Amino acid sequence: MSLFSLRDVTYGYDRRKPVLHDISFDLTAGQNLGILGESGSGKSTVLRLMLGLAEPDEGQLVADGTRLDTRSAARMRDHRRFAQPVFQDPYGSLDPRMRIGKALTEPHSALGLPGDARTEAARVLSEVGLPEDSIHRRPRSFSGGQRQRIAIGRALIARPRVLLADEPVSALDLSTRVRVIDLLDTLSRDLTLVLVSHDIAIVAALCPQLLVLQHGRIVEAGLTREILRDPQDDYTRTLLNSLPRLPEPKEQSR
Ligand SMILES: Nc1ncnc2c1ncn2[C@@H]1O[C@H](COP(=O)(O)OP(=O)(O)OP(=O)(O)O)[C@@H](O)[C@H]1O
Ligand SMILES: [Mg+2]
C-alpha cells in the first residue's frame, strides 16, 4: 500500500530557482525509506513537502490516498495524524519552559485525538523508554538522548502511520545514537519511517529502500542492499567511497 506518492515534483523556495526537480517515488507501508545525499541536495526540502510545510510548484504529492492540499485546515489536521516529524536538534524541538506532560498532552488536544490525553502521554513515554514521572520535569533536566526520546514520543501521540525523521541522531553521541536507532527500529514495526541521514550505516540498518539525491534530483532509487552492493550512478559511488571508514578491527591475540 502506498502511503506517499510523489510524481514529477518540482519545488523552489524561490519559484524561479527550483531546488527539487522531477522527484518521483512511492513510500510503501512497512518499507522504511532512507534518503542520502550531500549537504544542500534537497533532503530536508523533500521532508518539508511531505509534511505539508510547502507545496510542490509542479507535479503531484499524494498522501494517504489523496492529494495534499496545504490550504485546507481539515486536510492538514488529518495529515498531522498521518505523518509526524522528528528533527535533528532535540534541544530546539522542545519548549524549555514546558513540562513534559504538557509537551505531550498539547498536541493530543490540538489534533483532537481520541482517548484521554494523560493516558496517551503515559503510553508514549513507556514506548520511548522513559519513566512515567517524566511528565513533571522540564526538558533541561534530560540528556540529549532522552530529549530526542521525548520529541519522538510527542510525534507518537498522534499514532502516525509515517515518521519523517531528519537526521534524528546526528546531534547525539555514539552510544546514545545506537539506543535511539534501536528505538526507531522497534517503532518501525508499527509505522513506516522516512530517514534522512548522512550515515549510510544507519540507513542500511533501518531502511530496505533508498533514494540518493544530488542537486535536487534523484540519481539512484531502489533496494538499499542492491544499491550499496552495486551503485549504478557515479555520484553514488563517490558518495559511498567518501564515507569515513572505521579502521578494520585487529585480530585479537591471546
Ligand atoms: N528556507 C530556505 N530558503 C531558501 N533556500 C533554501 C531554504 N532551505 C533550503 N534552501 C536551499 O534549498 C536547497 C536544498 O536544501 P536542503 O535543506 O533541502 O538540503 P539538505 O539535503 O537537507 O542539506 P543538509 O544535508 O545540509 O541538511 C539548498 O540549495 C538550500 O540552500
Ligand atoms: Mg537537511
Instruction: Give mean pLDDT in consecutive 10-residue pieces for the chain, a chain of 254 residues.
Output: 96 96 98 95 97 97 97 96 90 87 94 95 96 95 92 96 95 90 95 93 94 97 94 86 65 57
Question: What pLDDT, on a 0 to 100 scale, did the predictor assign at position 254?
Answer: 53
Question: What pLDDT, on a 0 to 100 scale, did the predictor assign at position 83?
Answer: 98
Question: What pLDDT, on a 0 to 100 scale, did the predictor assign at position 1?
Answer: 85
Question: What pLDDT, on a 0 to 100 scale, did the predictor assign at position 239?
Answer: 80
Question: What pLDDT, on a 0 to 100 scale, did the predictor assign at position 250?
Answer: 65
Question: What pLDDT, on a 0 to 100 scale, did the predictor assign at position 190?
Answer: 96
Question: What pLDDT, on a 0 to 100 scale, did the predictor assign at position 89?
Answer: 79
Give the residue among 217, 166, 224, 161 at the shortest CA–CA distance from 24: 217
**Closest ligand 1 atom, CA of 47?**
18
Question: What pLDDT, on a 0 to 100 scale, did the predictor assign at position 128?
Answer: 95
The CB of 20 under 6 Å from ligand 1? The reply is no
Q: Which of 9, 10, 11, 13 to mutate to test the pocket of ligand 1 (most atoms within 8 A of CB)?
A: 13
The CB of 48 under 6 Å from ligand 1? The reply is no
Question: What pLDDT, on a 0 to 100 scale, did the predictor assign at position 253?
Answer: 53
Gap from CA of 251 to ligand 2 centroid (Å): 39
Question: What pLDDT, on a 0 to 100 scale, did the predictor assign at position 29?
Answer: 98
Domains, in order of start, for the chain = 2-90+162-240 (3.40.50.300)
Gap from CA of 88 to ligand 1 centroid (Å): 14
Question: What pLDDT, on a 0 to 100 scale, did the predictor assign at position 196?
Answer: 96
194-225 b/e (C-beta count within 10 Å ≥ 16 → b): bbbbebbebbbbbbebbbbbbebebbbbeebe
The CB of 44 under 6 Å from ligand 1? The reply is yes
Question: What pTM was computed for the model?
Answer: 0.93
The CB of 34 under 6 Å from ligand 1? The reply is no
8 Å CB contact between 42 and 27: no
